[in-house]
């Protein structure tokens, strides 16, 4: 009788065990962190990303860089997730979060080298993260929607060093005005601020529109290009007779029948248009199609009409003008109409837009970004979104912290104190956690061409002597009170970054076995093991 060998897994499954698994994952996480590191801060560099089809993105934005790279290593993918979470939760601080996770893992490796067990490290990291949240809420400063200057400073800090640098005061002004306008008693929805982009002109011509701009032209040349005191109807069904969803067949055998049929159709269209006119509307935005004959009738009545307007725009126009979106013409009365000072068609170069502007107290509005080329506009859009995200989350929590590394240094100092109160080896992990936080100010310095060690020493000594707002001011390259230098960030950037960086580094540290089945289409096994892997 021959003995059959026992098989647990198919042959093509690759496995990394114990230290190999750990080191390989840490290596990958460090690689990801290294990629974004050089972009951190106002003096950070940009990256040029070229897609397989040759599209180019020039950016400084952590999450954009990581999203555009096709990262395959499983641990590296977890790092990318950190950036995505940070982006959705806060909208800024993606580089910081990823770098923190990378450094936590790098420092953990030092402890692993000292034969400290991963569970001890993860426990220490968890303690440190909890303590950090406590300290952060202690050192955070309160703001209210009335602190407009502080809000502008927050927006400017978010945009410093991005493509928006040259016009950041103007942008900060736009951002704060926009957010204040849509603030509904503390409920703020970023979706209520539409970002529309238009090539041509300079970035300085970017403007805030008290209303909605969208890329549709009026339906016919004969319609007015501008309607003042607009009374706007929003209709979400087709102003046509044919229902495109139902395939109908009509048999017509005599010319009279055809004539009768056409007359009937005309009558129905006329009826529809009459109802619209009766409501008093002089502008129609229809989410579906508009019949040619209806177009003609609207033109004759000097009504401005657009068809196939996107649902998202319809909703925003509704919020901006107070119009209700109607699904049945019988419902359309003067009550359902919205109002705006002006509705007009404007051409920018090749593009044609419809502007709905001059809305009184709009609950949705538009930031119209202008710039010379698509790449410039896209990078400005990312910067403005960072600014919007930061202002919104500062207002939501009402708490902010000093930037320029000040908060990280203060945290590190207090965490070390806390570490001394612990017995056991977790203390060492808390210590490494503290030094990971210091990686933010040292990188800010390094990216600005300053001596990181010198800066760190100066920062530490200032904080030791009680200057808790001392950070690097990269406007003048000095270590000083950064609140006075107007470098301010929302607290949430830091709490979120620390939370997700800790969670992911703990998750990665707890892995001691990577089992990867090499399905043909998914090369999920860590590729490109670093040289020397598995030799210890």
CA distance 489 to 41: 12
The residue within the footprint of ligand ADP, chosen from 489, 490, 499, 505 (CB under 6 A), is 489
**Minimum CB distance to Mg ion, residue 36 (Å):** 11
Locate all alpha helices (DSSP H) within 398-451, ordered by sequence: 406-420, 426-447
Provide the minimum distance between the beta carbon of 437 and ligand ADP in the complex, in angstroms, as a whole number: 11
| Interstrand relation of 470-473 and 478-481 (parallel, antiparallel or unpaired) | antiparallel
Give the SS3 label for residue 399.
Answer: strand
Q: Is 39 a catalytic residue?
A: no
Q: Applying CB under 6 A, which of residues 22, 59, 64, 95 lies at the interface with ligand ADP?
A: 95
Task: From 23-31, 90-98, 172-180, 415-423, give the range in contact with ligand ADP by CB under 6 A.
Answer: 90-98
* Stretch 42-61: interaction string toward ligand ADP, x if CB under 6 A: x-x-----------------
Q: Would you give the binding string for ligand ADP spanning residues 393-412, x where CB under 6 A is met?
A: ----------xx--------
Q: Least separation, in Å, of the C-beta of 158 and Mg ion? A: 5
CA distance 244 to 249: 12
Asked if 426 and 433 count as a contact pair (C-beta separation under 8 A), the reply is no
- φ/ψ (deg, to 5) at 341: -60, -45
Does residue 481 bind ligand ADP (CB under 6 A)?
no
For the segment 14-43, give every residue that binds ligand ADP (CB under 6 A): 39-42
Q: Alpha carbon of 290 to those of 96, 242, 321, 346: distances in Å? A: 50, 11, 22, 21
Beta carbon nearer to Mg ion, 126 or 396: 396
Strands (E), 278-398: 283-286, 304-306, 325-326, 338-348, 351-357, 365-371
Site string for ligand ADP, 122-161 (x = CB under 6 A): -----------------------------------x--x-
Both tokens of 386, joined, read: 């960072």
Q: Is 502 among the catalytic positions? A: no
Q: Any idea what the Cα angle at residue 188 is, between residues 182 and 191, rounded to 5°?
A: 80
DSSP 520: S
Q: Contact between 62 and ligand ADP (CB under 6 A)? A: yes
Instruction: Tell me whether residue 213 or residue 483 sits nearer to ligand ADP (CB atom).
Output: 483
Give yes or no: 457 in active site.
no
Tokens describing residue 281: 């509307």
Tell me the C-alpha distance between 374 and 380, whole Å. Answer: 10
Q: Does 290 bind ligand ADP (CB under 6 A)?
A: no
Active site residue 192: no
41: DSSP letter: S
Q: Contact positions toward Mg ion, by CB under 5 A? A: 92
Residue nearest to ligand ADP (CB): 403
Q: How far is the CB of 413 from ligand ADP (least distance, A)?
A: 17
Q: Please give the size of the binding site for ligand ADP, defined by CB under 6 A.
A: 23
Taking CB under 6 A as the criterion, which residues in 192-251 touch ligand ADP? none
Nearer to ligand ADP, 222 or 451 (CB): 451
**DSSP readout, 208-246?**
EESSEEES---S-TTS-SEEEEEEEEEE-S-BSSS-TTS
Active site residues: 61, 94-95, 386
**Residue ranges that bind ligand ADP, judged by CB under 6 A:** 39-42, 44, 62, 92-96, 157, 160, 403-404, 440, 444, 472-475, 487, 489
């Amino acid at each position: 009788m021959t003995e059959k060998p026992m098989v647990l897994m198919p042959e093509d499954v690759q496995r990394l065990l114990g230290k190999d698994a750990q080191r390989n994952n840490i290596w990958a996480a460090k690689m990801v962190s290294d990629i974004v590191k050089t972009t951190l801060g106002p003096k950070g560099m940009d990256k040029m990303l070229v897609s397989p089809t040759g599209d180019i993105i020039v950016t400084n934005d952590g999450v954009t860089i990581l999203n555009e790279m096709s990262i395959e290593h499983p641990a590296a993918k977890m790092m990318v997730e950190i950036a995505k979470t940070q982006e959705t939760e806060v909208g800024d601080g993606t580089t910081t979060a990823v770098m923190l996770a990378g450094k936590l893992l790098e420092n953990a490796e030092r402890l692993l080298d000292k034969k400290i067990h991963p569970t001890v490290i993860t426990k220490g990291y968890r303690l440190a993260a909890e303590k950090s949240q406590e300290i952060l809420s202690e050192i955070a400063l309160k703001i209210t929607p009335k602190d407009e200057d502080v809000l502008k400073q927050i927006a400017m800090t978010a945009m410093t060093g991005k493509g928006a640098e040259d016009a950041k005061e103007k942008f900060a002004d736009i951002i704060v005005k926009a957010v204040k306008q849509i603030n509904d008693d503390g409920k703020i929805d970023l979706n209520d601020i539409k970002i529309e982009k238009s090539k041509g002109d300079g970035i300085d011509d970017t403007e805030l529109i008290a209303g909605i701009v969208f890329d549709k032209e009026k339906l016919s040349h004969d319609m007015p290009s501008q309607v003042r005191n607009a009374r706007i109807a929003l209709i979400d069904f087709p102003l046509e007779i044919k229902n495109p969803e139902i395939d109908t067949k009509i048999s017509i055998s005599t010319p009279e029948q055809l004539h009768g049929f056409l007359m009937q159709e005309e009558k129905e269209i006329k009826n529809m248009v009459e109802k619209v006119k009766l409501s008093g509307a002089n502008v129609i935005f229809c989410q579906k199609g508009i019949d040619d004959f209806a177009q003609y009738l609207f033109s004759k009545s000097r009504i401005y009409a657009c068809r196939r307007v996107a649902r998202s725009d319809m909703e925003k126009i509704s919020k901006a003008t107070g119009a209700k979106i109607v699904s049945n013409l019988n419902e359309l009365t003067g009550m359902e109409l919205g109002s705006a000072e002006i509705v007009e068609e404007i051409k920018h170069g090749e593009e044609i837009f419809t502007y709905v502007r001059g809305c009184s107290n709009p609950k949705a509005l538009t930031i119209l970004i202008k710039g010379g080329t698509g790449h410039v506009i896209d990078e400005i859009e990312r910067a403005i979104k960072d600014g919007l995200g930061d202002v919104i989350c500062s207002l939501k929590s009402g708490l902010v912290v000093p930037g320029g590394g000040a908060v990280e240094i203060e945290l590190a100092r207090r965490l070390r104190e806390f570490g001394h109160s612990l017995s056991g080896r977790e203390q060492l992990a808390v210590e490494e956690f503290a030094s990971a936080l210091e990686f933010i100010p040292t990188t800010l310095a390094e990216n600005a061409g300053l001596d990181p060690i010198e800066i760190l020493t100066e920062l530490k000594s200032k904080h030791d002597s009680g200057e808790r707002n001392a950070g690097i001011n990269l406007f003048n390259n000095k270590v000083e009170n950064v609140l006075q230098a107007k470098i301010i960030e929302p607290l949430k950037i830091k709490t979120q970054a620390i939370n997700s960086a800790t969670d992911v580094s703990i998750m990665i540290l707890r892995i001691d076995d990577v089992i990867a089945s090499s399905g043909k289409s998914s090369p999920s096994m860590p590729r490109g093991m670093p040289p020397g892997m598995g030799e210890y």
